[in-house]
A and B are shown apart, each in its own frame.
Chain A
Amino acid sequence: GAVVSQHPSRVICKSGTSVKIECRSLDFQATTMFWYRQFPKQSLMLMATSNEGSKATYEQGVEKDKFLINHASLTLSTLTVTSAHPEDSSFYICSALRTGSLYYNEQFFGPGTRLTVL
């Protein structure tokens, strides 16, 4: 099956620093990737849609300058949490949509990154 990796799996940082999370599709090309945020015992909330070679599309209420997304290649999207604060502590999950596929379940999830901001 298709594999999506995320790095790091866990990160602890001080308030005010920036943190970059990578999402890679290992054995397929992904024109589109998605970034979700999940608080404990809650659902996944879509933050943004990342499209290779173009600007990300952010969901309403998500700060573009706070959560920078770059989809530089067909296998890599990055999420940078800038000037992180304790309220940004959360579980961040990416998913990758296999290029050319909007049907069936051609969307694959990464294992997630747990961010803790002190």
Chain B
Amino acid sequence: AQKITQTQPGMFVQEKEAVTLDCTYDTSDQSYGLFWYKQPSSGEMIFLIYQGSYDEQNATEGRYSLNFQKARKSANLVISASQLGDSAMYFCAMRGIYNQGGKLIFGQGTELSVKP
């Protein structure tokens, strides 16, 4: 079975500073994908970044980077130069490529608050 764990229910960060949101996972699949989504108070799920299990380099998308440590089964999200608009819920998710039919399994989420 697959499992995603986010151990930080809430995080605070000062505007313009960097913040790391933790995510660990467990799976028996060899091929899988890891995702981060942002959910503002409006409820929409905004895709941020993706990391494939066979990708050798850490994924980056603008101010977002994913610190992928396969041996430790962690996929932490790093947000650089935080902005007030980054305040939201952040979810880590995993999808097995072959065995799960494409469905995403989500972690518990981390609520990020950016302080001015």
Contact = CB atoms under 8 A, between A and B. Distances in A.
Contacts of A109: 37, 44-45, 47
A102 B102 contact: yes
A114 B43 contact: yes
5 closest Cβ pairs, A-B complex:
A109-B45, A112-B43, A43-B106, A44-B106, A105-B50
Interface of B: 33, 35, 37, 42-45, 47, 50, 52, 89, 91, 95, 97-98, 101-109, 111
A104 B106 CA distance: 16
A41 B6 CA distance: 14
A42 B108 CA distance: 6
A34 B102 CA distance: 9
B44 to A, nearest CB: 5
A112 B108 CA distance: 18
30 contacts: A32-B101, A32-B102, A34-B103, A34-B104, A38-B43, A41-B89, A42-B108, A43-B106, A43-B107, A43-B108, A44-B45, A44-B106, A45-B106, A46-B104, A91-B43, A93-B45, A95-B104, A102-B98, A102-B102, A103-B33, A103-B97, A104-B52, A105-B33, A105-B50, A107-B102, A109-B37, A109-B44, A109-B45, A109-B47, A114-B43
